[in-house]
């Protein structure tokens, strides 16, 4: 078992998350992609914590912080999605152009 | 290679396959409900990877927070917002997809190259293992005390903010018999309006 395996897994997960973030039409799927990217970052932190700092485990502390921030982000994001759905009656990302021009 | 290393490697391979396959399903599947359930699978296998990294506490927190809270929250969001909608095909959508795919593959190649070429200072100390919970607690109440308190304040702010953003502005008083006007109906799936007063109070 090596550090590089975990880092490569995290990199692949992050890239999949970016692809979904940019290409999704559904707003909920965009939120899911953001969660995937946050999980990739968490996996990176945990891998570094285990292999480079196995006694101090500062990385695990950071991962716990990221998990709590992600929970807050999901709650606020879904509230925004719900309220914008009430106003625009759609979940299509391409039709949310309030701030575009 | 000892037996333990072999078991670790096989477990890592299985969990990675589950994680990446589930993530691809989340992004590429058409049905969003399947995506949400696959997201729960991705979170679960991520917690397995954390256990493989000697972090039992964070694995438990991952299962509790992500699988228990975030997945359920997303499923509730899908149920509230789910609208059968035929997306209008965009002009030159393939161009954006190809460009994004190219950027993602390029980023992955860059990250792979930098990962493999960096001389990591692998520590030779024995990992703390199950004592990690105690160590995390010590960290929280000594050198990470301020971020810990700020995180609790942020969770409170997010709680109140989510309620304020998602609540209805007012609840209309509709007598049980008469139909509600179109303007007062919510766009969510169940189209029945629940009147805020009971029938006997409305009559009196």
Task: Please choose, from the candidates B197, B173, B23, B77, the residue with its C-alpha nearest in 3D space to the C-alpha of residue A13.
Answer: B23
Percent of residues, chain B, with pLDDT higher than 90: 57
Angle between helices B3-28 and B32-52 (to 10 degrees): 160
Assess whether pLDDT exceeds 90 at residue B177. no
Assess whether pLDDT exceeds 60 at residue B197. no
Predicted pLDDT at B50: 94
Question: Does pTM surpass 0.95?
Answer: no
Task: Please indicate if any CB of chain A lies within 8 Å of the CB of B63.
Answer: no
Task: Please indicate if any CB of chain A lies within 8 Å of the CB of B31.
Answer: no
Query: In this complex, which of A19, A29, A56 lies closest to B35 when CB atoms are compared?
Result: A29
Residue to test with chain B: of A43, A54, A76, A89, most B Cβ within 10 A: A54
Distance from CA of B174 to the nearest CA of A (A): 20
Question: Mean per-residue pLDDT for B36-56?
Answer: 94
Strand partners, A92: A26
Please return the burial class of B123, using the count of CB atoms within 10 Å of its CB with bins 0-12, 13-18 and 19+: middle
Using alpha carbons only, how large is chain B's radius of gyration in Å? 25
Do A60 and B140 form a contact (C-beta atoms < 8 A)?
no
Handedness of CA A55, A44, A66, B39 (dihedral sign): negative
Task: Please indicate if any CB of chain B lies within 8 Å of the CB of A88.
Answer: no
Handedness of CA B137, B139, B145, B149 (dihedral sign): negative
d(Cα A67, Cα B66) in Å, to the nearest integer? Answer: 8
Predicted pLDDT at B16: 95
Output DSSP code: residue B2. Answer: -
Provide the CA B103 distance to its chain's centre, in angstroms.
Answer: 24
pLDDT in tens, B101-123: 999 999 999 999 999 998 888 88
SS3 at position A85: helix
pLDDT in tens, A40-86: 999 999 999 999 988 888 999 999 999 999 999 999 999 999 888 88
Question: Mean per-residue pLDDT for B37-53?
Answer: 94
Do A37 and A14 form a contact (C-beta atoms < 8 A)?
yes
The dihedrals phi and psi of B36, each to the nearest 5 degrees, come to -65, -45
Q: Please name the residue that has the structure tokens 């303007």.
A: B183
């Amino acid at each position: 078992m090596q550090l590089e395996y975990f880092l490569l897994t995290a990199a692949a997960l992050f890239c999949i998350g970016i692809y979904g973030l940019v290409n999704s039409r559904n707003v909920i799927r965009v939120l899911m992609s953001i969660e995937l990217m946050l999980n990739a970052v968490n996996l990176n932190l945990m891998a570094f914590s285990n292999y480079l700092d196995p006694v101090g485990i500062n990385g695990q502390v950071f991962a716990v912080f990221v998990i709590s921030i992600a929970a807050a982000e999901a709650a606020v994001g879904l509230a925004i999605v719900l309220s914008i759905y009430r106003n625009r009656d759609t979940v299509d990302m391409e039709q949310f152009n309030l701030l575009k021009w | 290679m000892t037996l333990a290393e072999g078991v670790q490697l096989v477990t890592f391979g299985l969990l990675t396959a589950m994680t990446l396959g589930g993530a691809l399903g989340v992004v590429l599947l058409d049905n969003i409900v399947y995506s949400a359930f696959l997201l729960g699978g991705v979170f679960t296998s991520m917690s397995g990877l954390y256990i493989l990294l000697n972090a039992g506490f964070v694995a438990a927190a991952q299962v509790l927070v992500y699988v228990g809270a975030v997945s359920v929250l997303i499923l509730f969001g899908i149920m509230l917002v789910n609208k059968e909608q035929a997306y209008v095909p965009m002009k030159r959508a393939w161009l954006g997809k190809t460009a994004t795919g190219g950027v993602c593959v390029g980023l992955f190649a860059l990250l792979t190259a930098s990962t493999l070429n960096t001389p990591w200072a692998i520590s030779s100390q024995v990992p703390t293992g199950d004592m990690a919970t105690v160590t995390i607690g010590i960290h929280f109440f000594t050198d990470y005390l301020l971020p810990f308190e700020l995180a609790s304040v942020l969770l409170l702010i997010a709680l109140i903010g989510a309620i304020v953003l998602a609540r209805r502005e007012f609840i209309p008083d509709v007598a049980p018999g008469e139909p509600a006007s179109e303007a007062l109906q919510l766009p969510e799936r169940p189209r029945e309006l629940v009147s805020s007063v009971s029938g006997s109070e409305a009559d009196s």
